[in-house]
């Protein structure tokens, strides 16, 4: 078996436990379920060097290796889209993602994702370990979230950063503009998160004993009268919509986040332009030099403009 035909995949930190076949189908949409089932049937999926069955349970941090099937889609068209590059070398690239852009291709997306833009910028030089529809993708931000996101150019760098994310060595800080003003100066939210039982595109705080552990620390960055607050958040886990769910659970939904409780009528102000969440800082160990890298992305203009609007309103 040629090494170039092997795909290495490290189970992300947010996946506590899952069936191996369902996990690969979720993270490698370029392969059909039939193709994935076939590599299991052919004993070509390995966990710690041993072939496994489809129903094998795998956990966060486990490393799977499997033979690459013939993909349904084998290429993406690079697209010339402006990028705000914060850091770049021959191993990694960090982008200050604009709000409104999707990270990688999926259902109902076009050729205007961040991956399409990076394929153009790097002339196709992105790691393929994350799958042919998600080259270079190490982690994700929601469509409306702005800020720092990392991509890798080499497979070795991809595997190293995935391990750092899985072991929670990567430190991330976010700024969120919330509706209402907490009485406390800060706190720690340790509340599990799970898929909503009815609205499957949403996440929710489940009954005690269910869901996946989630931990967010927060602190007030700025109080804007009694109508809003700028809140700094530190992620210790990486659950889907984690900050959005946790802040809503506290009673302070993020401005613009109708999915999790935002109601513009409470302010009698213009609608927030989007979910006002920004990935401001990230720190990690460079996968090649082993030096500590700390990066920061400034607030985008739409965030700053709405923040100024709230300040003016609160000062009346």
Catalytic sites, residue numbers = 142
Residue 73: CB atoms within 10 Å: 11
Which tokens is 153 given?
């150019």
> Residue 262: is it exposed, middle or buried by C-beta count within 10 angstroms (0-12/13-18/19+)?
buried
Under 8 Å CB-to-CB from 121, ≥6 apart: which residues? 83, 85, 93
CA–CA dist 256, 269 (Å, integer) = 12
Residue 186: CB atoms within 10 Å: 14
Full 3-state SS string of the chain: CCHHHEEEEECCCCCCEEEHHHHHHHHCCCCCHHHHHHHHHCCCEEECCEECCCCCEEECCCEEEEECCCCCCCCCCCCCCCCCEEEECCCEEEEEECCCCCCCCCCCCCCCCHHHHHHHHCCCCCCCCCCCCCCCECCCCCCCCEEEEEEECCHHHHHHHHHHHHCCCCEEEEEEEEECCCCCCEEEEECCEEECCCCCCCEECCCCCCCECCEEEEEEEEEECCCEEEEEEEECCCCCCHHHHHHHHHCCCECCCHHHCCCHHHCCCCCCCCCCEEEEEEEEECCCCCCEEEEECCCCHHHHHHHHHHHHHHCC
Paired strand residues for 19: 57
């Amino acid at each position: 078996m040629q090494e170039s035909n092997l795909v290495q995949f490290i189970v992300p930190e947010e996946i506590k436990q899952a069936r191996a076949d369902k996990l690969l189908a979720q993270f490698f949409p370029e392969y059909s379920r039939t193709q994935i089932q076939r590599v299991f049937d052919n004993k070509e999926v390995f966990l710690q060097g041993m072939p496994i069955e489809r129903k094998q349970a795998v956990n966060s941090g486990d490393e799977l290796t499997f033979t690459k099937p013939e993909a349904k889609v084998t290429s993406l068209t690079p697209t010339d889209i402006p990028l705000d590059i914060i850091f770049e070398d021959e191993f990694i690239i960090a982008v200050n993602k604009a709000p409104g852009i999707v990270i990688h291709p999926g259902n109902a997306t076009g050729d205007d994702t961040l991956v399409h833009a990076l394929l153009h910028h790097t002339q196709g030089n992105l790691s393929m370990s994350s799958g042919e529809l998600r080259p270079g993708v190490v982690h994700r931000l929601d469509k409306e979230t702005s800020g720092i996101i990392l991509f890798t150019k080499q497979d070795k760098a991809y595997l190293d950063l995935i391990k750092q994310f899985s072991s929670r060595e990567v430190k991330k800080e976010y700024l969120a503009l919330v509706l209402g003003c907490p009485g406390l100066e800060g706190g720690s939210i340790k509340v599990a998160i799970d898929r909503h039982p009815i609205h499957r595109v949403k996440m929710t705080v489940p009954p005690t004993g269910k869901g996946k552990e989630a931990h967010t620390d927060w602190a007030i960055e700025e109080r804007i009268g009694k109508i809003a607050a700028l809140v700094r958040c530190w992620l210790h886990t990486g659950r889907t919509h984690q900050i959005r769910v946790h802040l809503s659970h506290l009673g302070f939904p993020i401005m613009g986040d109708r999915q999790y409780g935002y109601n513009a009528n409470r302010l009698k102000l213009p609608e927030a332009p989007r979910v006002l969440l920004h990935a401001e800082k990230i720190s990690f160990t460079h996968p090649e030099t082993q030096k500590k890298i700390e990066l920061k992305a400034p607030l985008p203009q739409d965030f700053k403009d709405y923040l100024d609007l709230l300040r003016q309103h609160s000062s009346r």
